[in-house]
Amino acid sequence: GYLRQNGNLSSDLSLYEELKTVFAAELALIGKISQAAEDLATKTEGTDEYKKAADRYHRLCLEADAKDAYNVDVKVKTVLGGMGMSPFADQCVNTLSGGEKTKAALCKLLLASPELMILDEPTNHLDYKTLDWLETFLSASKSALIVVSHDRYFLDKLVGKVWDVQHGKITQYKGNYTKYKVLKAEYLARQAKEYEAQQKEIAKLADYVERNKARASTAD
């Protein structure tokens, strides 16, 4: 799942109903359970038809439990509340402001819980309370995260690796942002020493070459 820096979520649905579309499969399963229950009610108990209908109903209920299908509304309300978007739940998505649409897009992505989330400046438009909730939510998430952010405190709480891009080359540092700053400073210091040693060696070799040229010309 990918969150753009300016997520342009578009929908004619209310925000609440748009977020529920993430759980289309779970909601369809609840519908099947309702139909199976109605079908079971028309069968005579003890008959083969009843046993088949009861078995189907039981299997659907187990599947719903495994997919946590009964908690769709709880999940949506939790994310809406955490992201400070509850006041906009009944508002049409297309009437939201740009910043509200970006937050709505993030809400949808959090609910989708993909294996990998790519977040581009996810802390934009967030107040401190919402940011604190998001950090906690993402820390508990099973999704892997790739985050582009200028918020060093956010990175310190969430990331375990930092990819530093310089001159088209990526260097990976283990640890959070604070650790990255220390490791990069050490890396640059080593590079400076290596460069200095290299320059000394070049100067030494150049001097050696010049002296041997002088000896060769004297011998001639």
pLDDT 10s digits, 3-46: 887 767 899 999 999 999 999 999 999 999 999 999 999 999 99
pLDDT 10s digits, 121-179: 999 888 999 999 999 999 999 999 999 999 999 999 999 999 999 889 999 999 999 99
Phi-psi region for residue 169, left (φ > 0), alpha (ψ -120 to 50) or beta?
beta
Q: Which two tokens stand for residue 45?
A: 């108990």
pTM: 0.79
Q: Compute the average pLDDT of residues 174-203.
A: 91
For residue 103, the SS3 value is helix
Residue-wise DSSP of 40-96: HHTSPTTSHHHHHHHHHHHHHHHHHHHTTGGGHHHHHHHHHHHTT-GGGTTSBGGGS
Alpha-carbon span 54 to 61, nearest angstrom: 11
